[in-house]
Amino acid sequence: MHILIEGENYQEEVLQSLFDDPKFYKVNGLEATLTSVGYYHSFEKNRLVFMLPKVFMMDGEQTVLGTTKDELIDLIKAESVKHRTEYNWVRQLSVYFYNSLLEYRKRCSNTSIIHKSETFELNTNIGTKDYSYLDIFLSFVNFYKKNKQQILFKHIQFVSSQARKPKWEKTVRKSLPIIVNGNSPVYIEISNRKKVINTEEELLTYFFSILNHLNTEHHLNLKIDKSYRIITGKTFELLCTNGLSRLRKIKYRYFSDVLKRMYGLCEMYFSQFDTSSIKRKREDFMAISNYNLVFEDMVDKLFSDELKTYEVEGITIDKLKHNDDGKIIDHIYDYQSLIDTSDIFYIGDSKYYKSNSEAGKVSKYKQFTYAKNVIQFNIDLLNRDGEQKLTPLRYRDKLTEGYNISPNFFIYGYIDDISDYDNDKVERRGNPVSSFHFPDRLFDRDTLFVHQYKINFLYVLKSYTAFNNAEIEKFRTQIKVRFRQNFLAFFNDKNQCSFEFYECTLPEDEHRDFVERNFRKMNGKCFRTIDDRLILAKSFGDNSLTEILTNFKKVWGLI
């Protein structure tokens, strides 16, 4: 197994030795840049390659795995690390990573974040009903781990049944027993006068010969009992070419489920070497040149449940992901607003970078555009159908003409610990980025804030294929609460936020007259909540509200 990282430069001859086709990299002189993320296997070169996303890369030549990108190519073949437990992540990562590509292929035709023209970016020659080399490889390993005791029992049973008039004296003297149940010896090789050919043992020989080859080739450190007869070297290579015909001669000898499954695995493996088959492939692969689409879908599955369909005639709110100007929002969900118990849309953007990078100016401006598009969409519906049709969503207050705060966030993937797949911690990065037309108007449609978060990429990777709906729903609920609390904490922190908040003390029936008399001073600074509280956001240093504040009391938080 060889590991490469997307976007990194390698010697061209190194990539030529791994790939039969240069479609996965771009040549620049003597070097070549890996342009794809995914899985590749060459039958002719016997090379299994994983092209990992750039999130596994730090600055310079270092990876998050504690090695350089060049050391990582043949890391698990090095004798010094072959048996070290800290490299167990390789096998676990390969399973989750490969399964994530399969999941993306299954979802991409239906996913809401991808244009139809982009669904074919996942390039593969593995059909939906085909098995890749890795599928077969993992199936062998998993089957053996789950059934090795039962297989050994059948092997002992087979060998024991062949004994005719055993010579126990010679058996005890010349062979070593297996000790079972603590102190009971079982002899595998029994000396007897009459030898009977064991036809069932032939299948075990094929199975363990293949397993031994995979174990040696990919350094799996599996312990295979020495009592099995194993074919190796040139004889095994010959077996690969004629193994399918040999298998078919013994096809109807097996009746137990375990032996039938063993037969099926051997048949799939030998089929790869069948020269008579027109379906025989030189390689199998599953790769994508813009992995940001896969990362977006992984995060979207984890974060965004299906949008509610509100009672708006002719228009469904779930079309918000696809804006009229062609922009596509990565993640959007409705949840309790920051001001009251009404709902507002939380808008997120997945950023696919290296582990220590963050969004630049262009990404931040795009995010503000996404938010403005969503606000305008809801205002158009409000103007057309009225406030009741949008309930419980509430973007604009009719009395004050103030706009609800629209929460935005960036989400980055990062890796701190290569073995940690269960840490769902989402950390906020720095202070939020703001955009405004009037710096002293919080409740203005042009005043927007974007928080930045980082999430464990390995947790996202595992959850994409391994989590059930209940586990994902639990995470969604927790993350919604957490994001809202972080926004509230920001607005309630004097060291970060430049606003302080007040609540009107006048009777509710006097609010309208008060707002109309002071509308010019309060425009964009005031908002009436769904429970009819009149909230004022005063910017530090704003002295224009001194007279008005006599009718307000200071509050310590938004809600």
Confidence (pLDDT) at 505: 95
Percent of the residues in the chain that have a pLDDT greater than 90, as a whole number:
24
Confidence of residue 6 (pLDDT cuts 50, 70, 90): very high
- Residue 129 is predicted with a pLDDT of 62
Q: Give SS3 for 140.
A: helix
Confidence of residue 223 (pLDDT cuts 50, 70, 90): confident
Average pLDDT over residues 121-142: 76
Rounded average pLDDT over 485-495: 87
* Lowest-confidence region among 153-157, 183-187, 214-218, 304-308: 153-157
Q: What is the mean pLDDT of residues 407-411?
A: 91
pLDDT at position 444 over 90: yes
Structure tokens belonging to residue 87: 């490299």
- Residue 410, both tokens: 């960036």
State yes or no: pLDDT of 317 exceeds 70: no
Residues 6+ apart with CB under 8 A from 542: 440
Pair 344, 335: CB distance under 8 Å: yes
Q: Which residue has the higher pLDDT, 521 or 172?
A: 521
Residues 6+ apart with CB under 8 A from 193: 164, 165, 167
Share of the chain above pLDDT 70, in %: 80
Q: Where are the alpha helices (DSSP H) in 254-360?
A: 257-271, 292-303
Is the pLDDT at 252 greater than 90? The verdict is no
Higher pLDDT, 146 or 556: 146
| Amino acid 311: pLDDT | 47
Residue 336 pLDDT = 92
What would the mean pLDDT of 174-195 be, rounded to a whole number? 68
- How far apart, in whole angstroms, are the C-alpha atoms of residue 265 and residue 244? 11
Question: Is residue 23 scored above 60 in pLDDT?
Answer: yes
The answer to whether the beta carbons of residues 463 and 302 sit under 8 Å apart is yes
b/e map 45-71, b = 16+ CB within 10 Å = eebbbbbbbbbbbbeeeebbbebebbb
500-539 tens-digit pLDDT: 999 999 999 999 999 999 999 999 999 999 999 999 999 9
Sign of CA pseudo-dihedral 379, 383, 385, 387: positive
Q: How far apart are CA 189 and CA 177, in angstroms?
A: 8
CA 457, CA 454: separation in Å to the nearest integer? Answer: 9
Domain boundaries, the chain: 2-124+284-288, 133-162+198-271, 292-496
Distance of alpha carbon 292 from alpha carbon 37, whole angstroms: 10
The mean pLDDT of 239-266, rounded to a whole number, is 84
Residues 411-437: pLDDT tens digits?
A: 999 888 888 888 888 888 877 888 899
Identify which of 137-141, 220-224, 239-243, 535-539 has the greatest average pLDDT: 535-539
Identify the band that residue 175 occupies on the pLDDT scale cut at 50, 70 and 90.
Answer: confident
Please give the residue that has the higher pLDDT: either 27 or 150: 27
Residue 303's closest CA among 342, 349, 337? Answer: 349
The answer to whether 333 and 304 are in contact (CB under 8 A) is yes
Q: Quick one: average pLDDT of 118-124?
A: 57
> What is the signed CA dihedral for 360, 361, 367, 373, rounded to 10 degrees?
-160
Pick from 302, 347, 297: which is nearest to 321 by CA?
A: 347
- Longest alpha-carbon distance in the chain: 114
Token pair for 354: 């290296």
Given a cut of 90, is residue 550 above it in pLDDT? yes
**pLDDT attached to residue 389:** 67
Mean pLDDT of the chain: 81
pLDDT level of residue 364 (50, 70, 90 thresholds): confident
d(CA 493, CA 490): 5
Edge-to-edge strand order for the sheet containing 31-34? 9-11, 31-34, 25-28
- CA dist 361 and 64 (Å) reads 26
What confidence category does residue 337 fall into, taking pLDDT thresholds of 50, 70 and 90?
Answer: very high
Instruction: Give Cα 27 to chain centroid, integer Å.
Output: 29
Mean pLDDT of 4-24: 91
**Alpha-carbon dihedral sign for residues 139, 140, 142, 144:** positive
Q: How far is it, in rounded angstroms, from Cα 58 to Cα 457?
A: 14
Choice among 75-89, 219-233, 275-289 with the minimum mean pLDDT: 75-89
| Model pLDDT, residue 160 | 55
The model's pTM is 0.76
* Confidence grade of residue 306 (pLDDT, cut at 50, 70, 90): low
CB burial of 410-428 (b: ≥16 within 10 Å; e: otherwise) equals bbbbbbeebeebeebebeb
pLDDT at 96: 86
pLDDT at 523: 94
CA 338, CA 408: separation in Å to the nearest integer? 12
Q: What is the pLDDT of residue 501?
A: 92
Q: What average pLDDT does range 114-119 have in this prediction? A: 38
